[in-house]
Amino acid sequence: MKDFLDKLGRAAQKTINEGYYNLGSDEQLRHTSHPSLQKCIREEIHVPIIAEVKLSSPSLGRIRENENIEQLATSLKRGGAVALSVLTEPKYFSGSIARFTRIRENVNLPLLMKDIIISPRQIDTAAAIGADAILLIQALFHRGYCELDLNQMIDYAHALNLEVLLETHTEEEFTTALDTPTNLVGINNRDLRSLQVDIQTTIKILQKIRPKARLETKVIVSESGITGPQDIHKLRQNGAQAFLVGSTIMKAPHPEETLRKMVMAI
């Protein structure tokens, strides 16, 4: 049965074919060195929050208007974000490569290019626009949407000095991810097939992992559905090390203050 994950995979292929990732010279940035995402997370003394710059989502529709994006990104840095996740997927998330480059030019934090990545062409683009990391979704490899196999895509990203956040949703995907060369493993609390969200997804998966020392080999990131400090406490107690938060911050009248409360939760 087709579900929303299939829609994302098909839309990504169409976007690639349309030339969206074929950059002009004005969109490519001179490479500069930025902090490592996993290193920043491991060294963060407060709660490591990857704050997501997201104007729309399939589940909520329009979240935030296209305001001064540089000012928004700077406010998230002030709020204590350990890194920023910036949407570049244009069809379902109103993402923008141009918006990413504007943020890159104004914020010296690790930047994760958040997209439905199924081709090395997109990884080339991530490197060209100054990303420090990319997101890969393990389920898209299982469904045959990706041009290379999972380890090949991770290796390709690493060859371009990009870290990889490998997103999972099930226990089987998560345990498989621990054995890949990825830098970070994400657990998406949102089921991309149905768009239903439940933070117990992270908790249930992490509680089943034995031995617990396996979790120390990667940075574990809980994604989606995190609404406040109370969720941070639950997830961290069960082994999550970092947290990717988008909608809660983007919906807030004062994103910087909302983010700061989460960063200072522990």
Which of the residues are catalytic?
52, 54, 114, 167, 188, 223-224
User: Whole-angstrom Cα distance, residue 191 to residue 168?
Assistant: 10
Half-sphere exposure of 37 (CA within 13 A, CB side): 32
Chain-centroid distance of CA 34 in Å reads: 17
Q: Are 54 and 247 in contact (CB under 8 A)?
A: yes
Of the candidates 197, 182, 24, 42, the one whose C-alpha atom is nearest the C-alpha of residue 110 is 42
Which tokens sit at 31?
């490479």
Phi, psi (rounded to 5 degrees) for 240: -70, 135
Of the candidates 154, 124, 162, 121, the one whose C-alpha atom is nearest the C-alpha of residue 37 is 162
Give the torsion sign (CA, 213, 218, 224, 227).
positive
Specify the DSSP class assigned to residue 109.
S
> Using CB atoms within 10 A of its CB, is residue 14 exposed (0-12), middle (13-18) or buried (19+)?
exposed
Phi, psi (rounded to 5 degrees) for 3: -140, -170
